[in-house]
């Protein structure tokens, strides 16, 4: 079956513009995660969706960042008024929650460059 | 706050060597621990998942152990090959449920040369 897909693969934008990043999780995976990986940095958790529960937004770095997940499937991460420090690779992952099924499957990422 | 540390930060070995990558975490109340590999410019690939009640998991030449009480995990790679060259990441899900936050270490960059 298809894995996690993300679009676009690359996005170059100007400072101050808004961007939307899309994630299509594996069908049937109720958990969806967004992470950010900056050059030379580790993986930074952003937000976590689990079924119909309220998302864990504790990792979002500022109120310019938001995410939604429609119909329990596709998710969109929106960054408003982008800044140069937002440049990073944004990774999405999905999983089936459970002690032995919690393996996260990652998409290839979206490389965002803010000029 | 959970903190995950990986040692060494980088490792370069000749082909054929057995090697150990280390991961430590500060909060032992974990749900599970996962090891991933990341190839340059690509996403992460899951290697092994160890539940909090387990001591180890094996997949092919890989063996991961977990000592929850001491906050440590090791990834053992047997008979290393150039294709094993990648960044290896350890991630811990804190808490007693699948709702816990996943915290990643900074990774170990492994280079296996022929």
Of B43, B101, B103, the CB nearest to A106: B43
Closest B-chain CA to A40:
B106
Q: Which residues from chain A sit within 8 angstroms of residue B102, using beta carbons?
A: 33, 45, 48, 104
- What pLDDT was estimated at residue A58? 86
- What pLDDT was estimated at residue A101? 77
Q: Sort strands B10-14 and B108-113 into parallel, antiparallel or unpaired.
A: parallel
Cα–Cα distance, A31 to A48 (Å, whole number): 7
Q: Cβ–Cβ of A31/B98 closer than 8 Å? A: yes
Tens-digit pLDDT profile for residues B2-25: 899 999 999 999 999 999 999 999
Cα–Cα distance, B35 to B74 (Å, whole number): 9
CA B70 to chain centre: 16
- What pLDDT was estimated at residue B17? 96
pLDDT range class, residue B99, cuts 50, 70, 90: low
Average pLDDT, integer, range A74-82? 97
Within the 47-86 window of chain A, which residues sit less than 8 Å (CB to CB) from chain B?
Answer: 48, 50, 53, 56, 58-59
Buried b (16+ CB within 10 A) or exposed e, B71-92: bebbbebeebeeebbbbbbbbb
Q: What are the percentages of helix, strand and coil residues in chain A, rounded to 5?
A: 5, 45, 50
Percent of chain A with pLDDT over 90: 69
- What pLDDT was estimated at residue A85? 94
| CB atoms near residue B29 (< 10 Å) | 12
| CB atoms near residue A115 (< 10 Å) | 10
Q: How many residues does chain A have?
A: 115
By the 8 A CB rule, do A45 and A59 touch? yes
Show the CA angle centred on residue B110, arms to residues B109 and B114, nearest 5°.
150
Of B43, B53, B105, the CB nearest to A109: B43
pLDDT range class, residue A56, cuts 50, 70, 90: confident
* Lowest mean pLDDT segment, chosen from A55-59, B11-15, B99-103: B99-103
- What pLDDT was estimated at residue B98? 63
Average pLDDT, integer, range A44-61? 88
Tens-digit pLDDT profile for residues B34-67: 999 999 878 899 999 998 899 999 999 999 999 9
Average pLDDT, integer, range B82-100? 86
pLDDT range class, residue A53, cuts 50, 70, 90: confident
């Amino acid at each position: 079956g298809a894995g996690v897909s993300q679009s676009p693969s690359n996005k170059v934008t100007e400072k101050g513009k808004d961007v939307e990043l899309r994630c299509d999780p594996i069908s049937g995976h109720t958990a969806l995660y967004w992470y950010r990986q900056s050059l030379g940095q580790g993986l930074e958790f952003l937000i976590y969706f689990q079924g119909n529960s309220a998302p864990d937004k504790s990792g979002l770095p500022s109120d310019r960042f938001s995410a939604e997940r429609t119909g329990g499937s596709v998710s969109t991460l929106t960054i408003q008024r982008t800044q140069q420090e937002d440049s990073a690779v944004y990774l999405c992952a999905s999983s089936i929650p459970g002690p032995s099924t919690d393996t996260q499957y990652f998409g290839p990422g979206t490389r965002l460059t803010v000029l | 706050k959970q903190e995950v540390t990986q040692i060494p930060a980088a490792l370069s070995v000749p082909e054929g060597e057995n090697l150990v990558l280390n991961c430590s975490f500060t909060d032992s109340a974990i749900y599970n621990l996962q090891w991933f590999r990341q190839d340059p410019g690509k996403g992460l690939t899951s290697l092994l998942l160890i539940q909090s009640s387990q001591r180890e998991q094996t997949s092919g030449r890989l063996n991961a152990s977990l000592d929850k009480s001491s906050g440590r995990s090791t990834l053992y790679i047997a008979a290393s090959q150039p294709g094993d060259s990648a960044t290896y990441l350890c991630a811990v899900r804190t808490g007693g449920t699948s709702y816990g936050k996943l915290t990643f270490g900074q990774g170990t960059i492994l280079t296996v040369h022929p």
